[in-house]
Structure 1
Amino acid sequence: MPRDTDSIERDIERARNQLASTLDELSVRTNPKRLVENAKATLVAKVNEPPVKYALVGAGALVVVLVLRKIFS
């Protein structure tokens, strides 16, 4: 049984609206500023984890000790 033109037009309009919505969502997700903000937030969260934070503090302290040894040797 063939579909009537009104039904086909409604399906096309529904698909068009869904495609427009998907494209809008993709444009928001791939916005360069948003990508940078997300990467920055992820990096800050990772650095604030205790093991990473303590490793960075230890590495910094080691660099300070090595620089002071070099200066006073």
Structure 2
Amino acid sequence: MEDILQQILGELKEIKEGQTRIEKKLDSVHDNTAKITGNITETNMKIDKISDDVDFLKHKEHQTEEDLFKLKKNLQIIK
């Protein structure tokens, strides 16, 4: 009877140690997930900024093309 009790207590100890290892791994996964989420958020913000910059450059290019067209048109009138 005593041997069975010791065996059960030994197995219970192993289960608790296994649970502790699993909890540590889970904490590590949670921390890494938080870091990755932060990196994704930062990356998305940078992509949004780049997208805005590209849109602005396209707008400025269009304005420049219009200005060039008007200048060329005025030059033709003067000639």
TM-score (norm 2): 0.48
Counterparts of 1:1-73 in structure 2, within 5 Å, are 4-31=4-31, 34-38=32-36, 40=39, 60=54, 63=55, 64-73=57-66
Deviation at 1:20, TM superposition (A): 0.3
Q: Structure 2: which amino acid aligns with 1:70?
A: Q
Whose RCO is larger (CA < 8 A, sep 6+)? 1
Q: Gapped runs of 5+ residues in structure 1?
A: 45-59
Question: C-alpha distance in 1, partners of 2:60/2:34?
Answer: 34
**Matched residues, number:** 54
Instruction: Give the alignment's Cα RMSD to 1 decimal.
Output: 3.5
- Deviation digits for residues 15-66 of structure 1 (CA, Å, limit 9, x no counterpart): 00000000000001101xx22544548xx8xxxxxxxxxxxxxxx4xx4344
Against the structure 1 CA distance between its residues 38 and 7, is the aligned structure 2 distance closer, same or farther, given a 3 Å change threshold? same
Q: Which one has the largest radius of gyration? A: 2
% of aligned pairs identical?
4
Question: C-alpha distance in 2, partners of 1:28/1:18?
Answer: 15
TM-score (norm 1): 0.51
Q: Gapped runs of 5+ residues in structure 2?
A: 44-53, 67-79
